[in-house]
Structure formats: structure tokens, C-alpha cells
Amino acid sequence: MSKRVITLLSLLIVAGMLLAACAKAEAPAAKIKVCQITDTGGIDDKSFNATAWKGIEDAVAQLGIEGKYLESKEVADYEKNLNAFVEEKCDLIVTVGFLIGDATKATAEANPDLKFSIVDYAYDPAIPNVVGQVFNTDEAAYLAGYLAAGVTKTGKVGTFGGLPIPTVTIFMDGFAKGVAKYNEVKGTNVQVLGWDPANPDAGLFSMSFDDQQKGRELAVSLMDEGADIIMPVAGPVGLGAAAAIKERGNAYLIGVDSDWFLTSPEYADITLTSVMKLMDATTMQVIKSVIDGTFKGGVVVGTLANNGVALAPLHNLESLASAELLAEVEQLKADIIAGKLSVK
């Protein structure tokens, strides 16, 4: 009996291999192959890995390219995965995040004939076959700050970050400057709690990107001090802040990176807007440059103008903002795009 079982299984395996060999014969037409390597957050991190992959999926749907990804489980996987895609002769290899920077640089320099792009990172000096994707997030955050200053009832808005690193504080800078702009235009005195561009050492940080409890505590203390609109710039930590705001019931949230109204529907009724960083748009832009042959090492900057950053719609909470305020925000956006207004 046992022998029969084993024989049967072996036969099945052999049959499978034969069929596999046959199936391989029908080779598909050569398509542009775009391959993404995630950092240890994984492809479904609801953050930059997922957003960059969305850019590739969009390109698959619209431009008919082929998309592949490899997830990294640990730092040692970065180089292994890069090598796997070099072997696969991908036309563009997209890596995600600062931590994968060393490995991308090494592999790009070892394979000068292949094209690479890295999200949220730029090399100085630039590498000829790598495009860094960076974001002028402060442009969108500026609009959020102006909007928040116009909506607040208490005259106080708050923000906090995950770690005091440039990709985080750029949100907070833009936000605070947008509030200052509102004060300048309207002669009001709306305060920003948790961040002062002139004194970054006093900024409020959770010192973590995954401790939601910390986000809850920071949101509670900001609300205790009177803030009724809070922008947490700390990835999932912000969800802790959202929970605290929802419990309190008299404050609103500004999401970051993606439109939280859509990605965190449980907090849709407190999400005033979101400062979006659209890596999918910039990734798409790089893919297009590979297709039309204009790919060139350096940086691609996501701005309001090229839709690399944007302010999300207010969705259900549009009644909180007057039509006049929304028009002013639109005007600011137009001015920033036109270069008439600098947010730096």
C-alpha cells in the first residue's frame, strides 16, 4: 500500500515537471519589466512600499508593462533580492526607502547597464543609473496648515512626528508655515502645538513608527492643551492618535502619506483631510522615462505641480470649511504651482 502511494506521488511529480516543461515553451513577447524590492515593511505596509507598488500596478494596467516584486524579510535580503532581479534582467529596479540605500548603491554601481530608482532617497552625488524620488511634502502640508487654521475653533492646532528626520519634519514645517500664512492674511493668532520651525529641538515626537499607544498619549496631551486639529506624521502611530481623537469626539485629524478617509475608513468621520505623498505618481513618471528612453540618473521631485504631493479632498467634512476658505486654499495651490509663492 505504502509503496503504491509513493509510486503514485512520484508519478504525479514527474507528470507535473513534464507539463511544466511544455508550458514553458510558449514564450511571451518581451515586455518592459519593472521590479520592486520592498524594505522590511512588506508590500502591504499601507505606506510607501504599497504606494510605490501601486504605481507599478497602474503602469501594468495602462502601459502594458510587466511588474514583479520581492519582499525583504531582513537587511541581508536587500542585496540578495537585488541580485535576483539583476539576474532577471529587469528594465527598471525600484527600491524603497532610506535603509535600502547602501545596497541599491552597491548593486547599481556593479551593474552600470541596468536602471534603478529609489523611493524617498537621493544620492549625493547622483549615480548615473539611479533616479532618486524625493517629495516636496511641505507644499501640500502648507495647504493643510492654512486649511486647519481656518477650521479650528480653539485657535490651536497640533502635530507630532515619528522621529526627527527630514522626511518627517518637512511635513511639520509646511504645516506650521501654512498656519503662519493664515495668521498673516487674517490677522489671527492660531497656534501650532508640537512644532516650531524656528526651534526644532522642542518638537514633539513619538520616537517610534509602530507604537500606537504612544500616538494615543501624544494626541491626548495635545487635545488637553486645546488643539482641535492634529496631524500625526508617524505612520501607524497616527492610528493611535486617531483612536484618541475619535474617543474625545471634539477634534479632527489630518492624515499623512495617503488619503486616510479611504485607507482608514473607521476614522473617516474625523479625518479633515490628508497630506498625500504620491510615490505612485513619481514611480509612474520614472517608468514612463524608461519606456520612452529619456531615463537619466538624478532625482525626480514630487510636487503639487506634477501631482507627486497633494492635499486630499475633505470628503464628508467639507461643511467644516467655508467656501471662501476652500477657494483661498485652491488659490494658494495655484500660486505654489505657478511659483509665485515659496513654502520654504
Partner 1 sequence: MSEAQAEKKDLGQAILKEIVPPPEEEAPRKSFWKSISIPALAILTGLLIGAVMIAATSSTVWAAFGQSIWKGFGRAFAEIGAAYQALFTGAIGDPVRIVRALGSGDAREIRSALNPFLESLVQTTPYIFTGLAVAVGFRSGLFNIGVEGQLFIGAAAATYVGYAITGLPGFIHMPLALLAGALGGAFWAFIPGLLKAKTGGHEVINTIMMNWIAFRLTEWLLSGPMTRPGSGGMPLSPLIQKSAEIPQFFQAPIRFHLGFFIALAVAWFINWFLFKTTWGLDLRTVGTNPRAAKYAGLSTTKSIITAMIISGALAGTAGAVQILAVNRSMALGLSSGYGFDSIALALIGNNTPLGIVLASLLFGTLRNGATRMMVVSAIPIDIVDVIQAIILMFVAAPAIIRAMYHLKKPKKEEATIFLSGWGGK
* 126 is a site residue for partner 1 (CB under 8 A): no
- Our measurement of the distance from residue 268's CA atom to the centroid of its chain's CA atoms, rounded to an integer in Å, reads 19
* 164 is a site residue for partner 1 (CB under 8 A): yes
For 297-317, b/e burial (b = at least 16 CB within 10 A) is bebbbbbbeeebbbbbebeeb
Cell 541599491 found at = 104
* 12 is a site residue for partner 1 (CB under 8 A): yes
* 80 is a site residue for partner 1 (CB under 8 A): yes
In terms of CB distance, is 110 or 185 closer to partner 1? 110
Cβ atoms within 10 Å, residue 284: 22
Beta pairing partners, 299: 132
Q: Are 244 and 220 in contact (CB under 8 A)?
A: yes
Strands 309-311 and 271-277, sheet pairing? antiparallel
User: CA 316, 322, 323, 328 torsion: positive or negative?
Assistant: negative
* 71 is a site residue for partner 1 (CB under 8 A): yes
Q: Which amino acid is at 47?
A: S
* 327 is a site residue for partner 1 (CB under 8 A): no
* 198 is a site residue for partner 1 (CB under 8 A): no
* 16 is a site residue for partner 1 (CB under 8 A): yes
Cβ atoms within 10 Å, residue 110: 11
- Which span sits near partner 1 by CB under 8 A: 63-71, 183-191, 213-221, 262-270? 63-71
Nearest approach, Cβ of residue 162 and partner 1 (Å): 10
* 28 is a site residue for partner 1 (CB under 8 A): no
* 299 is a site residue for partner 1 (CB under 8 A): no
* 185 is a site residue for partner 1 (CB under 8 A): no
In terms of CB distance, is 73 or 153 closer to partner 1? 73
Find the binder of partner 1 among 7, 31, 62, 73 (CB under 8 A): 73
* 70 is a site residue for partner 1 (CB under 8 A): yes
Find the binder of partner 1 among 57, 58, 79, 196 (CB under 8 A): 79
* 112 is a site residue for partner 1 (CB under 8 A): no
- Distance, CA of 266 to CA of 178 (rounded, Å): 28
* 11 is a site residue for partner 1 (CB under 8 A): no
Task: Give the strand order in the sheet containing 130-135.
Answer: 66-70, 33-37, 92-96, 116-119, 130-135, 298-302
In terms of CB distance, is 61 or 327 closer to partner 1? 61
* 88 is a site residue for partner 1 (CB under 8 A): yes
- Which span sits near partner 1 by CB under 8 A: 80-88, 130-138, 270-278, 306-314? 80-88
Strands (DSSP E) contained in the chain are 33-37, 66-70, 92-96, 116-119, 130-135, 156-161, 191-193, 229-233, 252-257, 271-277, 298-302, 309-311
Provide the 3-class DSSP secondary structure of residue 181.
helix
- Distance, CA of 32 to CA of 138 (rounded, Å): 34
Cell 524625493 found at = 134
* 98 is a site residue for partner 1 (CB under 8 A): yes
In terms of CB distance, is 83 or 263 closer to partner 1? 83
In terms of CB distance, is 31 or 153 closer to partner 1? 31
- Distance, CA of 294 to CA of 282 (rounded, Å): 15
Cell 503662519 found at = 180
Find the binder of partner 1 among 54, 83, 268, 305 (CB under 8 A): 83
Q: Which residues bind partner 1 (CB under 8 A)?
A: 1-2, 5-6, 9, 12, 15-24, 35, 39-40, 68, 70-77, 79-81, 83-88, 98-99, 102, 106, 110, 163-166, 207-208
